[in-house]
Amino acid sequence: MINKQHLIDRFLGYVTVDTESDPNSDETPSTKKQWDLAKQITEELKRIGMQDVSIDENAYIMATLASNVDHDTPAVGFIAHFDTSPDFTGANVTPQLIENYDGKDIILNKEENIILSPSYFDDLLMYKGQTLITTDGTTLLGADDKAGIAEIVTAMEYLINHPEIKHGTIKIGFTPDEEIGRGAHKFDVEKFGADWAYTMDGSQVGELEYENFNAAGAVVTVKGKIVHPGYAKGKLINSMHIATQFINSLPKMEVPEHTEGREGFFHLHNMKGAVEETKLHYIIRDHDLSQFEARKEVISNLAEELNSQFGSEVIMVEIKDQYFNMREKIEPVMHIVDIAKEAMEQAGIKPLIKPIRGGTDGSQLSYMGLPCPNIFAGGHNFHGRYEYVPVESMIKATEVIINIVQIVAKK
C-alpha cells in the first residue's frame, strides 16, 4: 500500500517552493526560481535509486527505472511539469490539511473571509470523509502539476522498494514552463526513449483524456491619437473606444464562461489601454480544426472591417498557433488509452474519458513523435486561491501508474 503520510510530505515539500513561470521571459526555464525545485527533484530521484538521472541546461529532468523482466516490453513514460501558473501567485504557499472532510464550508482565510464552499464548488462533496489539502486563500496551491510529480516519484520509489512487482523499462520526465505553453518545446523525445507516455496532469479521479483544444494566441493592438481633450474634436482617436467596439463585435456567448465540452471560444484574458494605444490579449480554442481556423479568420476579418470603417490601419492583429488536438496522433495507437483505462479499473476507478478543455504537454509531445494521453492527478480549481487536492485521489493516481507498468509488462 502507498504510504499516505509519505506522499503528503513529498507533495508539501514541492508546493512550498515557488516555481511560477513568466510568459514575458525568453529564457528556459522562464524564471530562475524553477531551478530550485528542479534541482531538489533531481537529487531526490538519485536518492530513491532511479538510474540515468539527468537535468539539462533548460531544467528538463529525465530518469529511468530499468526493466526487471526477462522479455522485451515497450518502454513507457510518465511526465509532469513543475512550474505553476502566472495567473495567480505561487509564492509563499501555505497549505492547509483538512482531515476527514465533513462536507461543509472550509474557511481558507478567516481574516479575509475567503471560503471554499461546496455550495459553489460542488465537486467537494465527492470527497466527504477524505483528507484535503487546500491553500490558505492567498495563493494557488500548485497541485497543477506538483501532484503529478509527487505521484510519479512515489510510484517509482514504491516499485524500487518492491522488486517483486514486474515491470518493463520506465522513463520519467519533468518539465518547466508548461503553464506558458512551452513545456514540451525543448523536450528531447529521442533522449527520453519511451515508446509512449502519459502526462499526469488531469483533474478529478478517473479523468483520461486524449483530445485537447487546438490553440492559438492573438494580440490585438489598437492605435489612437492623443490630443488635448479641450481641442480634440475631429482630431482625437481614443484607442480604448475602438478596442471596446472590437470586443463587443465578437460572439458574446462564445467565451469560456458560456461553453463546455467540445465547444470552442474566444477568451480575452488581458488588456491594457490608454488613449494612444490599447492591447488586447486573446486565446483562441476549438477542438475541431476547421472551426479553429475559422475562429482565427473571425479575428482577422473583424480587424480588417474596423480598419475599413476608420479608413486607416488602427487595428493590427498577430496570431500565433500554440498547439493542436492530439487525437489525430493517439487514435492510431488507441491501445495505450485502453491500457490506462484497464489500470484505472483495476484500481476501482471508473474512467472518465472526455476531451481536455485546455492544453497539455502531451499534445505537443504527441506531434513530436511521443504519443501521450493525459491521466488525472487529482486536483481541482487550478490556477487560483480555491485550488485543492484530495490525498486519496493522489494515492489512486499513484496506483494507476503502478498498474499501467504491470499491464505493459504482461502484454
Q: Rounded to the nearest 5 degrees, what angle is found at the Cα of 173, between the Cα atoms of 171 and 179?
A: 150
CA nearest to 380, candidates 107, 19, 133, 153: 133
Dihedral, 106, 111, 114, 119 alpha carbons, nearest 10: 50
Q: Is residue 83 annotated as part of the catalytic site, yes or no? A: yes
Strand duo 214-223 + 61-65: pairing: unpaired
Choose the catalytic residue: 18, 20, 22, 83: 83
- Give the HSE-up count for residue 307: Cα atoms under 13 Å, Cβ half-sphere: 16
Grid coordinates standing for 203?
Answer: 483533474
CB atoms closer than 10 angstroms to residue 115: 15
Choose the catalytic residue: 22, 157, 177, 178: 178
Q: Is residue 18 annotated as part of the catalytic site, yes or no? A: no
Q: Which residues are tagged catalytic?
A: 83, 178
